[in-house]
Structure 1
Amino acid sequence: MKKVLLLAPMSSVHERFNKVNINILKDLQCEIHIAANFEHGTNETIQHNLRYKKQIEYQGIVVHQMPFQRSSLIKNLAVIKICRELFKKEKFDMIHAHTETGGLITRIAMSSNSTTKYVFTPHGMSFYKGSSLKSWMLYYPIEKWICDKMVAVMAMNQEELEVLKKWNKNNERYIHGIGFDVNAIQKTIVNKNVKRAELGIPQESFLILSIGELNENKNHETIIRALAKIKAPNLYYLICGEGHLKSYLEDICNSYNLSNKIIFAGYRRDISEIVHIADLFAFASYHEGLPVSVMEAMAAGLPIVCSKIRGNIDLLEDGKGGYLCKPGDVDSFAEKLNLLIYKEEQRKKMARTNLENIQKFSKDVVYVETNQIYREILM
């Protein structure tokens, strides 16, 4: 029986992104191990993570609690020794590391004489077209160094695939994302009136939805400033996510007298329901790998106005399922949002396009792609 470790800093990565990988490894009759921090975050988050830990342990998966820290390389240096000892003790046949932090820690902890085969999924490299010179000078060599010793690196967008081809044509692979559960979204039944009332949204309002952490990258500020330019009556904006910019964004809303029209819903576990009560999805992020939130919106049949960046352009063709704008272009976002607010037939046409196009990113498609890669490595 082959022994495989799936490693990521936070348990949420496994819960959200590794479902298909776990199912494949089960079908291949592998002994599955998972390493992550299940004890990081708020009390509510930790309790949820521990429930997930029990759930996967019940499935026979071996869990390793690791003291990873979010977004802090210095604090994560202590994990290197723990990983090195775990790798040496268990002698895994394959280790699949996720995210830049997971990949870097794994790369440092590798043994030079190990027979373990290493796989890496970046989930969005930190350098990208349009990013700063500093990010290219810092992250480009780090990511290249990480990828150099991997037997396979899984790209989820074409921009990263082209970079990997330049680095090492022997280990680059392309998969259509994480294996998105399209049916889970499309089969979700929700009472629109009840859900809107729960969130404080009037029944007859036009609702624009965004999903993502309240941080600089997700760029909710651009959407808020764009909405300030739109004079449509009964327009509401719902933001699902939490983060350190909440007070800052609330101040912007106050400056435009939009506080009664913009709802900060916090972190939600009912996104599959919320996407069905919106009329349009807005997403102004500066960089992504392949954004799950956009896929959720597509699966729910929402037209989309989003930033013209890596990941988004893999999911959406401008003018087909929605519109693409430069990330910080407030006027462009305002123009496209305003256009779709008043063009119902155009929204319906874009909805049909998204419902069709999302199928290529489904878990069934990604299962086949990833299964082939795992078999090549393990068998």
Structure 2
Amino acid sequence: MASTASFIAQFNHRNIKILQHLGYEVHVAANFTHFGTSSSKSNQQFMQWLRVQHVVIHNVPIERRLGKFRQNISTLIILNHLMMKENYCFLHVHTPIASVLGRIVALKNHVPVIYTAHGFHFSKNSSKVNWFIFPIEWLLSFITDKLVLINQEDFLLARHYFHAKQIDYVPGVGVNFKLLSERQVDEHLLAKRELLKTLKLPKNSYLIIAVGELSKRKNHQVVVKALSILAMSNYHLVIAGRGKQRQSLLRLATQLGVANQIHFLDYRRDIRHFHLAADLAVLPSLREGLSRAGLEAVRDGVYLLGADIRGIRDYILNDEVGQVFNPRNANELAILIKKNIQRQKKGLSYSTESRLMKFDRTSVDKQMKEIYQSMGE
């Protein structure tokens, strides 16, 4: 039986099932000790799921960010030992640091590699500093068998500049877009009534949902500033996520006089319920690969105001779905919030729904199965 390893952070459970159905023994190598912004409970549940699925787990201290030189060397040694011992058929890497270390070790051990880039750090909207990473990705593309891009901007850039043996576009990890046609207006009213009661807010309140970790990259502060500009005390921002920026967001909200309009939900798994309750969704990120949070908002029927960046533009197809704004311009966002917060809930046209179905997990899984099959061949 063949085997494959995946060095992960943003991981798709369904990829494991696809590989197993193709006859592979699957190994997962990841940092299960320091697991980022997910909760400890979610991390434990994921590890338990892997054990139930008979996946071999390797706890490897891979850093999410650049990390220390000595730590990365130590990780390289661990990965090299692992690859020599297990005789892998191919390797699938995901996160930036894991992709660098994994490809280096795979080259040494003559193991083919798939790299799914969940959004390059460099893009049309990123700072010049981020483009210092470009030469590293360019160089490593020569030792990449399959490069998978999840948004159109990265895909076009990779096709023009990079040298992987094959370059594919797969629109993210996929979401269940079949739920798109299952929502009803009365679901929104019921969910909103429940959330208003939970938050102890008056019935005339309007709810804006923002999903994402509390970090500078997710840029929640621009929504706080927009609320301050609007000066509408019955507009409330509900943020689902955890991270280091919580206290600074609270300080900013207090300074701007809108602290009682900001509500933190921490990390949540029942996001659909909050989308159904929301009058509007905002995705103000400064950088994204292909934001699943935005796709799920669209799927759940909430109108989306998204940053005008790659990975969000891909699915805000028209005014039926939402509108884009400059993520550094709070005034522009404030205008869009006021214009759309009372928008009537209604379904999307058939043509728009059809175009969104490429993000459905069934379509994505079919593409990934073909990629894995070609690696086996």
Common topology (TM > 0.5): yes
Partner of 2:260, secondary structure, is coil
Deviation (angstroms), 1:94: 1.0
Residue identity opposite 1:243 in structure 2: G
Deviation (angstroms), 1:113: 5.0
Partner of 1:313, secondary structure, is coil
Structure 2: how far apart are the matches of 1:326 and 1:43? 26
Other-structure match for 2:340: 340
Is 1:107 matched with 2:100?
no
2:360 to 359, 362, 365: 362
Other-structure match for 2:115: 120
Other-structure match for 2:2: 2
Residue identity opposite 1:211 in structure 2: V
Query: Relative to structure 1, is the Cα distance of residues 180 and 358 closer, same or farther in structure 2, using a 3 angstrom cutoff?
Result: same
The RMSD of aligned alpha carbons is 2.5
Query: Relative to structure 1, is the Cα distance of residues 284 and 361 closer, same or farther in structure 2, using a 3 angstrom cutoff?
Result: same
Query: Relative to structure 1, is the Cα distance of residues 48 and 82 closer, same or farther in structure 2, using a 3 angstrom cutoff?
Result: same
Paired residues of 1:215 and 1:243 also in contact (CA < 8 A): yes
Structure 2: how far apart are the matches of 1:277 and 1:50? 29
Structure 2: how far apart are the matches of 1:44 and 1:339? 34
Pairing of 1:248-263 with structure 2 (within 5 A): 248-263=248-263
Other-structure match for 1:159: 153
Q: Alpha-carbon deviations, 1:39-63, whole Å to 9, x = none? A: 2259993343123212211111111
Aligned residues: percent identity? Answer: 27
Other-structure match for 1:82: 78
Instruction: Give the TM-score taking structure 1 as reference length.
Output: 0.90
Other-structure match for 2:126: 131
Paired residues of 2:64 and 2:95 also in contact (CA < 8 A): no
| Count of residue pairs the alignment pairs up | 369
Structure 2 unaligned segments of length 5 or more: list them.
Answer: none
Structure 2: how far apart are the matches of 1:369 and 1:151? 16
Q: Alpha-carbon deviations, 1:132-162, whole Å to 9, x = none? A: 22211x2101222232211101101111111
Pairing of 1:287-302 with structure 2 (within 5 A): 287-302=287-302
Query: Relative to structure 1, is the Cα distance of residues 240 and 351 closer, same or farther in structure 2, using a 3 angstrom cutoff?
Result: farther
Pairing of 1:97-246 with structure 2 (within 5 A): 97-112=93-108, 114=110, 116-136=111-131, 138-166=132-160, 167-168=162-163, 170-183=165-178, 192=191, 193-232=193-232, 234-246=234-246
Query: Relative to structure 1, is the Cα distance of residues 44 and 101 closer, same or farther in structure 2, using a 3 angstrom cutoff?
Result: closer
Pairing of 1:24-43 with structure 2 (within 5 A): 24-40=18-34
Structure 2: how far apart are the matches of 1:218 and 1:28? 37
Query: Relative to structure 1, is the Cα distance of residues 29 and 270 closer, same or farther in structure 2, using a 3 angstrom cutoff?
Result: same
Structure 2: how far apart are the matches of 1:196 and 1:353? 34
Paired residues of 1:184 and 1:272 also in contact (CA < 8 A): no
Q: Alpha-carbon deviations, 1:308-351, whole Å to 9, x = none? A: 10101111135341111112011111111111024x24x53669
Query: Relative to structure 1, is the Cα distance of residues 289 and 339 closer, same or farther in structure 2, using a 3 angstrom cutoff?
Result: same
Residue identity opposite 1:263 in structure 2: H
Deviation (angstroms), 1:117: 1.3
Other-structure match for 1:374: 372
Deviation (angstroms), 1:182: 3.1
Partner of 1:73, secondary structure, is coil
Instruction: Give the TM-score taking structure 2 as reference length.
Output: 0.90
Paired residues of 2:63 and 2:97 also in contact (CA < 8 A): no
Paired residues of 2:179 and 2:299 also in contact (CA < 8 A): no
Paired residues of 2:170 and 2:364 also in contact (CA < 8 A): yes
Q: Alpha-carbon deviations, 1:25-76, whole Å to 9, x = none? A: 1221111111112222599933431232122111111111112233243144
Partner of 1:319, secondary structure, is coil
Partner of 2:4, secondary structure, is strand
Query: Relative to structure 1, is the Cα distance of residues 70 and 365 closer, same or farther in structure 2, using a 3 angstrom cutoff?
Result: same
Deviation (angstroms), 1:169: 6.5
Structure 2: how far apart are the matches of 1:351 and 1:215? 35
Structure 1: how far apart are the matches of 2:13 and 2:172? 12
Paired residues of 1:298 and 1:355 also in contact (CA < 8 A): no
The more displaced of 77-86 and 43-52 is 43-52
Paired residues of 2:206 and 2:341 also in contact (CA < 8 A): yes
Structure 2: how far apart are the matches of 1:266 and 1:150? 38
Pairing of 1:303-322 with structure 2 (within 5 A): 303-322=303-322
The more displaced of 199-208 and 310-319 is 199-208
Residue identity opposite 2:94 in structure 1: H
Structure 1: how far apart are the matches of 2:341 and 2:349? 14
